[in-house]
A = this chain, B = another copy of it.
């Protein structure tokens, strides 16, 4: 186990060339005569030589790695996001550190420490304090993912304002009253935007909006818990707008478990359009955001060398309203 690998020097000696030539051959840069290249290549192949990442990193003054920071990893949203990010990063040969803060106390310090190990960091909105974000950006290139630009830090996000359109659809097209919003705006820029759009939709339709959202997390289990609260009310809501599909599915499961009819007794909508949303009965009305693309764009931005004047500071990706059965359509 753990055989000692050979170094440039040893390969150079065996192939009877200088270490410079070995380096040139192994990384394909500079001019090398065909015969020499052939010979060196054979030795490299034969001994399974691969340049030591540590030495290379030090010489090149770069880690060849980037990091992406999340609140947690649960659910298909993060999975998709990471896939998009990871794939794009791999393309350029960079490896990816994934940091889940899991609302740990030391999370901010961990992220700061991470800055010493990577060439850039993507930070998901709502994971670390703004102050920490600023300090981080002083050490290393940073992109905010699913949040707003801050000072010189660029952001990549989806168009959450479409929730206003969805809300208007429920109020006007279906004529529902007594809507509820499920999701906690505190600490999540996405949820904040969606809650605001929910209220905007009410204003557009000239219907008074609820004063407070049902503050709860973004996982499916949170949705079940929210359902428990909402359906026990004396005057339960006619329609429930959830901050994401996961909670919407949780609410839907809670409703189904109570024998409620959807959308007959209650309409439910989400945000994301994850795989489950088109599979449940009835299908979940939601807003599709290009999650994978979000991750990919973030990675590209991070790896394209930020900070030049005239750089893109805010990238907002389009979203799309997807009408299925759970809102009352069809």
Contact = CB atoms under 8 A, between A and B. Distances in A.
A4 to B, nearest CB: 10
A139 interface: yes
Nearest to A278: B221
B73 A82 contact: yes
Interface string A188-220: 000000000000000000000000000000011
A18 interface: no
Interface stretch (A8-16, A51-59, A125-133): A51-59
A144 to B, nearest CB: 14
Interface stretch (A161-169, A253-261, A296-304): A253-261
A interface majority secondary structure? mixed
Interface stretch (A32-40, A91-99, A176-184, A312-320): A91-99
A116 B76 contact: no
Nearest to A50: B116
A140 interface: yes
Contact of A79 (B1, B74, B152): B74
A283 B221 CA distance: 13
A307 B1 contact: yes
A141 B2 contact: yes
Q: How many copies does the complex hold?
A: 2
Nearest to A77: B74
Nearest to A225: B279
A182 to B, nearest CB: 15
A102 interface: yes
A2 B140 contact: yes
A10 B188 CA distance: 41
Contact of A280 (B52, B90, B257): B257
Interface residues of A, number: 66
Contacts of A87: 104
Given A61-B54, A95-B97, A224-B280, A3 B138 contact: yes
Contacts of A61: 54
A328 interface: no
Nearest to A221: B275
Given A224-B279, A256-B256, A276-B221, A152 B82 contact: no
Nearest to A138: B3
Contacts of A95: 97, 113-114, 117
Interface of A: 1-3, 5, 50, 52-55, 57-58, 61, 63-65, 72-76, 78-79, 82-83, 86-87, 90, 95-100, 102, 104, 106, 110, 113-114, 116-117, 137-141, 152, 219-221, 224-225, 250, 253-254, 256-258, 275-276, 279-282, 306-307
17 contacts: A1-B137, A1-B307, A2-B141, A5-B139, A65-B117, A75-B75, A76-B219, A79-B100, A86-B99, A86-B102, A90-B106, A90-B110, A95-B117, A221-B279, A253-B256, A256-B256, A258-B281
